[in-house]
Structure 1
Amino acid sequence: MIDIIHEYWQQLLWTDGYRFTGVAITLWLLIASVVMGGIMALFLSIARVSSNKFVAFPVWLFTYIFRGTPLYVQLLVFYSGMYTLEVVKGNMLLNEFFRSGLNCTILALTLNTCAYTTEIFAGAIRAVPHGEIEAARAYGFSSVKMYRCIILPSALRIALPAYSNEVILMLHSTALAFTATVPDLLKVARDINSATYEPFTAFGIAAVLYLAISFCLISLFRKAEKRWLQHVKPASTH
């Protein structure tokens, strides 16, 4: 094990000398998809709870499709399927985009987490106490100001525990990137296994690194919950 770590530690952590690999790529996939998916979900969740069916239904359909199909299938559709379409072949920008396994992986991860996060945020918006909304209306808040100052801050606090689980699940989902030839942590571990024929060591090291990243993420979310959810904890009795 020591020899493998000594020989492959750079590839496992950040580069093989020519490109970013391993943990660096895994973190990039996670951060890019979670940030873009989260921003999209923030707006889509508002549409999801709209009383206007023409606004809410397309968002419901989007979340239904991406939550109802495996992420692996979605990745294959983007990476292997889109490139075969004539509309993609005939468009230079689309052609270049879908030729990149990294682009296809980020797109699949982003849309997938966006669908789940939209439903998480939408549920949190519905859970905002009605009294807060009525108070905002009584003070003459416009719909935009009410969402910005009252509903969204409360909803994001409510959604935080569920959203932290979604981020951890997205970290696990990045392991599918190797199917699109993206040199993420699992792809490096598979390459080490092919070179050394020591699967327990290769995949064991990858598992430890995934655990380390998960530990850091969980710690960050616990700090966030302690800061923003302090008011919902039961008061201690003596």
Structure 2
Amino acid sequence: MNWDWDVIIKYFPKLMEGALLTLELVTISGLVGMLIAVPVALLRASDKPWVRFLPFCFIYFFRGTPLLIQIFLIYYGASQFEAVRESVLWNILKEPYWCAIIAFTLNTAAYSAELFRGAIQAIPKGELEAADAFGMNWLLKTRRIVLPRAFGIALPAYGNEVVLMLKSSALASTITLLDLTGMARTIQARTYTPVELFTAAGVIYLVMAAVVIGLFRFMENRFNRYQYYKPHIDPLGVEKQ
């Protein structure tokens, strides 16, 4: 097989346009999903079963069904209801871009909420008892103790979730969006060079994933730098307190 470098060089700017759209979809859905995930996680961590019920249903649905099905339900399913088509929401739901954003946001919110729920419940009880001893109310304790500690605990797993969302964003091409995968599919349909184009797209995904992993590794080291005690060892091997 002859490798056609000219195709990659010629269409590389187009692939980068698709990559920028991919990053835009992931960034917007990730930020909005985080805003949804935090209150859902707090409700899931409640001691009251009736408070946990609706968040559980939300998380169970979006974690238990494929992301592709969720995209199709929002993009194709919403148009089946006349009430939706006649409402102001139709200006949003008729656009594939916003349907992809909504699907990605709800999906990552469900996964992230469960991550943060586990992190909240993993906070040592002594820290919460110390906050109570200082007279902190629930809101202050949540803001000063619970959320910062839970974020630090969940950060490594949340980084994996962002990488998974980055790869899952390729499904946006199924509803006509020209993200990185959609752009590669469109170009290869014209040039009949699938190996070159999809290999180039895969390399771009690898680079973006490496940047995301490096960013979260940096955040993890910065955010949890005071979490672990690291004794100082002098040249004679004696631990200094």
TM-score (normalised: structure 2): 0.92
Q: SS at the partner of 2:89? A: helix
Q: What is the identity, as a one-letter code, of the residue corresponding to 1:66?
A: F
Q: How does 1:1-238 map to 2 (within 5 A)?
A: 1-14=4-17, 22-91=18-87, 93-233=88-228, 235=230, 238=237
Give 1:218 shift: 0.6
Q: SS at the partner of 1:191? A: helix
Unaligned runs of 5+ in 2: none
TM-score (normalised: structure 1): 0.93
Unaligned runs of 5+ in 1: 15-21
Alpha-carbon distance in 1 for matches of 2:75, 2:116: 29
Q: SS at the partner of 1:182? A: coil
Alpha-carbon distance in 2 for matches of 1:229, 1:166: 19
> Percent same amino acid among aligned pairs?
41
Q: Kindly name which structure, 1 or 2, has the bigger radius of gyration based on alpha carbons.
A: 2
What per-residue deviation string (whole Å, max 9, x for no partner) do you get for residues 16-58 of structure 1? xxxxxx0111000000110000111011111111122222110
Alpha-carbon distance in 2 for matches of 1:96, 1:117: 28
Q: What is the identity, as a one-letter code, of the residue corresponding to 1:94?
A: L
Alpha-carbon distance in 1 for matches of 2:150, 2:188: 45
Contact kept? 2:8, 2:197, Cα under 8 Å? no
Give 1:235 shift: 3.6
Please identify, of 147-156 and 49-58, the stretch whose mean Cα deviation from structure 2 is larger.
49-58
Contact kept? 2:8, 2:196, Cα under 8 Å? no
Taking only aligned residues, the RMSD between alpha carbons, in angstroms, comes to 1.3
Q: What is the identity, as a one-letter code, of the residue corresponding to 1:7?
A: K
